């Protein structure tokens, strides 16, 4: 009997071919991500003549599926002639944006980490528009660009845009609203104010915070705020001023007695005259919602009900409209900042692999064809193991002489 090298039986060869055809990938199979995708918009860039400073907002959105490492916003306002620009832009004097540098006509800000938008989120970056001494209407423009780390942005084409910058001769109130994305679950404190308790998960309560301000030349008496929520989110119990509709997804809140004076007149933090007010509405997310997810499409819109002359403070603020009256919308020189959008950001439930308590490593989920491939590898491995087992039994019979072969056990 020859004990030299022998070719593997055909069953073994077939098993090896099968294993070779389903070779295990060198790295874990994960769903491919697009990466961050930043885009920019602007609001509040029309200023009534006579207003020396107005706060405009740059809206930095992340349309991608990852959070960038850092974000830099650049603003450029070209000189359009020999005369000084009647309105100039600079970073917000109140701070809170990040590290900024530059001067009128061109500056940049590296956003603070807490302002960098995650997937599906939008942040409002305030900038100051100064028009001291301007006496004539003006129509100009400025450029905004937003960048992240090298090669991070999935679509750099929407990172730079031009926006109008105007002075208009309209001595009226100028309302604006800025809404925050809803990212925190809340509980109501002793004074009725929502207190954050952690990331927002399906079935939990959050709050839509929005700031309404008057940056015009006249006071406004009475404010109406209209809110609409994304699908999968509804309002909980609301104040008496709010009326719900659309199965709890829409609310119209009419604050008849709320008077907002022009920002230039709001100089004493201890008096009862206000140029801006921060409001909140409690909302609840559906317990059946898939998470993590970003629910987009929320909006907040504001309008004034009546104007009050800025030179007459002897009259008390109007308490409410008569029952047979219909409020007329107050003229507003800048409609671009009368509405703002927001998203509701849901974190995965604990133990769902969100990287939190009881969660996983936060990596991209295994999905689609990759999941099928890994499953196929497991099945193939089982089949190949069975074939090899049978092949080994067959090989043992080759080494046994016919006369020693007995009945199978």
Note the pLDDT tens digit of each residue in 310-353: 555 444 444 444 333 334 455 677 878 899 999 999 998 776 54
Structural contact between residues 69 and 102, judged by C-beta atoms closer than 8 angstroms? no
Query: Cα(105)–Cα(167) distance, rounded to whole angstroms?
Result: 17
Mean pLDDT, range 30-54, rounded to an integer = 86
Per-position b or e across 154-185, b if 16+ CB within 10 A of its CB: eeeeebeeebebbbbebbbbbbbbbbbbbbbb
Q: What's the pLDDT score for residue 148?
A: 93
Bridge partners, 300 (sequence order): 227, 340
77-81, 200-204, 342-346: range with highest mean pLDDT:
200-204
Q: Which fold has domain 175-360?
A: Immunoglobulin-like (2.60.40)
Which CATH number fits the domain 34-169, given the four candidates 1.10.10.10, 3.40.640.10, 2.60.40.1510, 3.20.20.20?
2.60.40.1510
| Secondary structure letter of residue 158 according to DSSP | G
Residues whose CB falls within 8 Å of the CB of residue 398, separated by 6 or more in sequence, listed in order: none
Give the closest residue to 44 by CA, choosing from 80, 89, 76, 97: 89
Note the pLDDT tens digit of each residue in 230-276: 999 999 989 899 999 999 999 999 998 889 999 999 888 778 888 99
Strand order in the sheet with 88-91: 38-43, 53-62, 122-130, 88-91
State how far the alpha carbon of 318 is from the alpha carbons of 171, 211, 276, in Å: 21, 22, 18
Whether residue 57 has a cis bond before it, omega within 30° of 0: no
Residues whose CB falls within 8 Å of the CB of residue 220, separated by 6 or more in sequence, listed in order: 173, 175, 214, 259, 260, 304, 305, 306, 307, 308, 330
Phi-psi region of 173 (alpha: psi -120 to 50; beta: other; left: phi over 0): beta
């Amino acid at each position: 009997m020859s004990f030299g090298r022998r070719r593997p039986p055909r069953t073994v060869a077939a098993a090896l071919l099968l294993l070779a055809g389903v070779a295990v990938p060198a790295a874990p199979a994960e769903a491919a991500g697009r990466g961050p995708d930043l885009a920019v918009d602007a609001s509040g860039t029309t200023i009534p003549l006579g207003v020396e400073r107005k706060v405009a907002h740059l809206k930095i959105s992340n349309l991608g599926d990852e959070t960038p490492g850092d974000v830099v916003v650049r603003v450029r306002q070209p000189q359009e002639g020999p005369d000084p620009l009647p309105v100039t832009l600079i970073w917000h004097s109140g701070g809170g944006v990040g590290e900024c540098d530059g001067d009128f006509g061109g500056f940049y800000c590296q956003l603070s980490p807490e302002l960098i938008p995650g997937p599906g989120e939008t942040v409002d970056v305030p900038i100051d528009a100064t028009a001291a001494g301007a006496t004539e209407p003006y129509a100009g423009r400025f450029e905004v660009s937003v960048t992240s780390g090298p090669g991070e942005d999935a679509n750099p084409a929407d990172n730079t845009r031009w926006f109008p910058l105007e002075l208009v001769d309209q001595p009226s109130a100028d309302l604006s609203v800025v809404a925050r994305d809803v990212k925190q679950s809340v509980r109501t404190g002793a004074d009725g104010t929502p207190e954050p308790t952690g990331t927002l998960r399906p079935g939990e309560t959050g709050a839509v915070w929005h700031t309404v301000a008057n940056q015009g030349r006249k006071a406004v008496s009475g404010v109406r705020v209209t809110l609409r929520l994304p699908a999968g989110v509804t309002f909980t119990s609301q104040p008496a001023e709010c009326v719900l509709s659309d199965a709890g997804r829409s609310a119209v809140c009419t604050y008849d007695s709320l008077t907002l004076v022009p920002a230039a007149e709001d100089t004493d933090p201890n008096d009862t005259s206000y140029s801006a007010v921060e409001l909140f509405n409690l909302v609840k997310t559906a317990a059946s919602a898939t998470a993590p997810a970003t629910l987009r499409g929320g909006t907040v819109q504001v309008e004034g009900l009546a104007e009050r002359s800025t030179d007459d403070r002897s009259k008390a603020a109007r308490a409410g409209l008569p029952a047979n009256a219909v409020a007329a919308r107050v003229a507003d020189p800048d409609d671009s900042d009368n509405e703002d959008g927001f998203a509701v950001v849901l974190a995965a439930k604990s133990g769902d692999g969100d990287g939190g308590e009881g969660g996983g490593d936060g990596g991209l989920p295994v999905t689609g064809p990759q999941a099928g491939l890994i499953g196929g590898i497991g099945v193939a491995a089982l089949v190949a193991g069975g074939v090899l087992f049978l092949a080994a039994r067959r090989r043992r019979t080759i080494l046994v002489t016919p006369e020693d072969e007995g009945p199978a056990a």
